[in-house]
Chain A
Amino acid sequence: MTGPCLDCTRNSLALAVSGAHLEAMRAAWRPKSVLGLEADALLRAVGGKAEAGLHTKLDLAVERARSEEQALPSICAACRHQGDFEFPDALASDPEPPWALWVHGSPGALTRACESPSAGVVGARRADAYGNAVARDIGRAVARAGGTVVSGLAFGIDASAHRGALDVEAGATVAVTGGGVDVVYPKAHRQLHREIVDRGAVVSEMPPGTALWKWSFPARNRLIAAISDLVVVVQGARHSGSLHTADAALARNIPVAAVPGRIDAGVSQGSNLLLADGALVVTEPSVVVRALGLDPDDKKAAIKADLVEACEAISADRVDDYLLQVGTQVGNSRLARLELLGLAETGTDGRWRLVG
């Protein structure tokens, strides 16, 4: 494991150690304008009387980080200069690029999210049943068509979108968090966190172990926007973090879509305003899929080679031979999988046939 270069590590750690100070200065500072400062400049800016103490803290943190590099084998990291994986171009060329990235899970999932179609699905934490259901449907539709679902692992819409992607057998999803990738926030999402680590990636610009501050959330939102090719706001109140993500997307020339909501529901007002401002109207999940340039009807996009074999057996009307060849148990489970995907069915004559 090589990890990010010393400077970048130091710059990221500077953010982590001065978290509380950034929080206290929230009124005076737009947090995002300090994210790009190098360590010394940052500490000078936020430190005031405590600057000397922060320097000491930072030096200790750098030392510890270097000695602990090997301690978390499932986490890998990179910066623009070096690292365990290729630092994505989309983030390197961002107007507010992260110093470094830590990935818990598969860095390939992050690369895929940046290079092939991906949708940032964001919205209110206090979403209602409608919002959660729609978010999950969108997550499923995007994943089924072969796209990646990017979100922030929060309660409500974020979690629903991730779950929707995980519902799909080979569904891809990336979670961006504001704290360290090993810090589960909210705690209730321990299981979801683990599943995303297993089947996708949890990504952060903060070193492992970093706690979350209020400013961490808008900072994380800009990364969601930067990774995605389209940002979908499912539900969000006026002045909410979801609108912040939408702003970040617009600033990066990334299209924004929004799901229409009830006009008397506070939780939909922000998203409805986005629609009023010209955001793409999500009339059904496939709208998102099409906007990503994917084909919502291409059900075979996400099927694996073993299922293609089963499809061929069905179309050649040689299902019995196929069962004998691969074993009845295995063959049956593949046929059932095709049925579940809506690709095959049996008629009243009990014969398998392909659908569509």
Chain B
Amino acid sequence: MLTKVMTFALEGVEPVPVSVEVDIRPGLPTFQIVGLGDTAVRESRERVRGAIQNSGFEFPMKRIVANLAPASLRKSGPSFDAALAVGILAASEQIPLLSIDGTGIFGELSLSGELKSCAGALPATEGARTLGLSRIFLPERACAEASLIRGISIGAVRDLRELHSTLIGERPLREVEPQPEIVQGSSAPDLSDVVGQPGAVEALVVAAAGGHNLLLEGPPGTGKTMLARRLPALLPPLDEDELIEVARIQSATGIGLNTGSGFCRPFRAPHHSVSAAGLLGGGSVPVPGEVTLAHRGVLFLDEFPEFRRDALESLRQPLEEGEVSIVRRAGRLKFPSRFQLIAAANPCPCGVGGESNGCQCPPLSLERYRSRMSGPVLDRIDLSVFVGRPAISDFARAGGGHPSSTTSKEASARVQSARQAQHARLGPGRLNRDMSSEELTGGGALETAAERVLAEAYERHRLSPRGRVRVLRVARTVADLEGEDTISQDSVLAALAFRMRGPKR
């Protein structure tokens, strides 16, 4: 007898419908799974057999062939277990065929028959809705993330027995309530923890407001990482579509998705030994890399000059286009990767950075260290700020609760209003970092005095034409933060204070 159960595989982070066909014929008792599965899929046989028998059902002692169609798609992971088990139960007439019509089943089985959560429940639910299925059964633990998807009924099941009794109608469907509004960012660390550093804090606010990439330079231990970690909370909350994009990636890669009150934009800080494939994504069945995990969030590269050159160079495409395309034997995949980059660097190899109290680096090694920072990536960083040692008096002040430090709440209110100004000017989805030179200067947007200062700076600081546009973009954001329609001279000057310094800028 032949049955067909719908489940879903992942291609990158997108769902692909897979129908699990099970055919049972008289013959020697064998169980075979065909359809380009990896080891986890092959081992599925043992889990399915154990789960069926330990749940008190009969495992047919006949010749069983299961096919995962389409057969051309490489399949990996244990998420086909539940569908395989239900297929076998239906083909051996332990479940009526009619009950699995229009139903998706997704999840891993343990030998005891328990349905275990596995990566990809959210995309699978999306896929089921797109396919027009009326319901999908998911492991209980995976239901929280899947409930972000509306328009399909989601059944939570604990084990194979519960799945069986629901399918035959012995027990009502345990439907998952749709997710209420998610409160974002409430658990993120606060900006007011930062001691001193008014310049760096302001740079962080400007970066958040205009979506600019940021370079933090300074000796170790001065708070570069601390500052970077506070960026996600300054960014405006994700809208519903963006939230699902992020949740889809987190679900597909199996990172625990925090659907509780503390959901925040992603913050990824890969170690500097990461490979290009680790950053961009890769593997024979391509999986997303760090740039995709940081989608709609922050990618923090600490010890920027220590990263492998090829890894840094590979960031060019995602920075430019907001997505990565990966070509492998299995095919060509596109991953979203619109992230904000924060790079942090010591001023020199020893880290002291030519400060009066003894940097021992010979001049040549200093040169080499700086030249290790990838030019093409630096070109895409609009803002740069130095994070120096705070004065000792700043600590005394922080202890005494001095009100001078900015809180995340104040800062994100400023960011929000600047974002509104950008939305009004540029339309949805675009930020100041995407503006061209013509847009920035056209239509009287640049005041005459500002133009003059910019021209002076272009000559005096030997800006490159691209460096000039970067200054303009930042100036635009500064003006937005101040609530001004045109770019004033002071905005350009403030942007100049945040420009990249050094030879190649």
Contact = CB atoms under 8 A, between A and B. Distances in A.
B456 A328 contact: no
Interface in B179-210: 196-199, 201-202
B320 to A, nearest CB: 28
Nearest to A333: B493
B481 interface: yes
Nearest to A345: B501
A320 interface: yes
B465 interface: no
B212 to A, nearest CB: 15
Given A332-B493, A336-B494, A320 B198 contact: yes
Interface string A336-355: 11011010001111110000
A51 interface: no
B11 interface: no
A349 B460 contact: no
Contacts of B501: 346
A292 interface: no
Interface stretch (B85-93, B274-282, B288-296, B386-394): B386-394
B142 interface: no
Contacts of B201: 328
B467 interface: no
Contact of B198 (A195, A324, A336, A342): A324
A324 B355 contact: no
Main secondary structure of the interface of B (DSSP, over half): helix
B202 A320 contact: no
A92 interface: no
Contacts of B498: 332
Contact of B353 (A167, A342, A349): A349
A321 to B, nearest CB: 8
A337 B453 CA distance: 9
A311 to B, nearest CB: 15
B493 A336 contact: yes
B390 A320 contact: yes
Contacts of A166: 452
Given A332-B497, A349-B388, A320 B354 contact: no
A13 B388 CA distance: 68
A320 B218 contact: no
B199 A328 contact: yes
Contacts of B386: 346, 349-351
Interface residues of A, number: 28
Most buried by B among A167, A324, A337, A349: A349
A347 B354 contact: yes
B494 A329 contact: yes
A334 B490 CA distance: 8
A340 B452 contact: no
B391 A350 contact: no
Contacts of A349: 219, 347, 353-356, 386, 388
Nearest to B388: A350
Nearest to A166: B452
Contacts of A323: 198-199, 202
B32 interface: no
Contacts of A328: 198-199, 201-202
Interface in A37-61: none
Interface string B339-363: 0000000011000011110000000
Given A329-B482, A336-B496, A337-B493, A348 B353 contact: yes
B474 to A, nearest CB: 11
Nearest to A318: B391
Given A329-B490, A333-B490, A349-B388, A339 B355 contact: no
A335 B198 CA distance: 14
Interface string B480-502: 01100000011101111110010
A330 interface: yes
A324 B453 CA distance: 25
Given A167-B456, A329-B481, A332-B202, A350 B494 contact: no
B199 A332 contact: yes
Nearest to A347: B354
Contacts of B460: 340, 342
Contact of B404 (A319, A324, A348): A324
Nearest to B404: A324
A350 B218 contact: yes
B218 A334 contact: no
Contacts of B490: 329-330, 333
Contact of A351 (B202, B355, B489): B355
Contacts of B202: 323, 328-329, 332
A333 B457 CA distance: 13
A318 B388 CA distance: 12
A320 B496 contact: no
B478 interface: yes
A86 B451 CA distance: 35
A350 B491 CA distance: 21
Contacts of A330: 490, 494
A215 B59 CA distance: 115
A20 B390 CA distance: 74
A320 B180 CA distance: 44
A346 B501 CA distance: 9
Contacts of B394: 320
A339 B347 contact: no
A336 to B, nearest CB: 4
A348 B457 contact: no
Contacts of A346: 386, 501
B292 to A, nearest CB: 33
Interface in A293-322: 318-321
Contacts of A331: 198
B448 interface: yes
A277 B171 CA distance: 114
Given A320-B196, A320-B390, A324-B198, A333 B354 contact: no
Contact of A335 (B197, B366, B461, B497): B497
A167 B452 contact: yes
A339 B463 CA distance: 14
Nearest to B460: A340
B199 A320 contact: yes
B21 interface: no
Nearest to A329: B494
B159 interface: no
Given A333-B493, A333-B497, A348 B347 contact: yes
A-B pairs, top 3 by smallest CB distance, nearest first, are A350-B386, A333-B493, A332-B497
21 contacts: A195-B448, A320-B197, A320-B198, A323-B198, A323-B202, A329-B202, A332-B202, A333-B490, A333-B493, A335-B497, A337-B493, A339-B496, A340-B456, A340-B457, A340-B460, A340-B461, A340-B496, A349-B355, A350-B217, A350-B388, A351-B355
Interface of B: 196-199, 201-202, 217-219, 347-348, 353-356, 366, 386-388, 390-391, 394, 404, 448, 452-453, 455-457, 460-461, 478, 481-482, 489-491, 493-498, 501
Given A333-B490, A348-B347, 5 more contacts: A195-B448, A331-B198, A332-B493, A339-B496, A350-B353
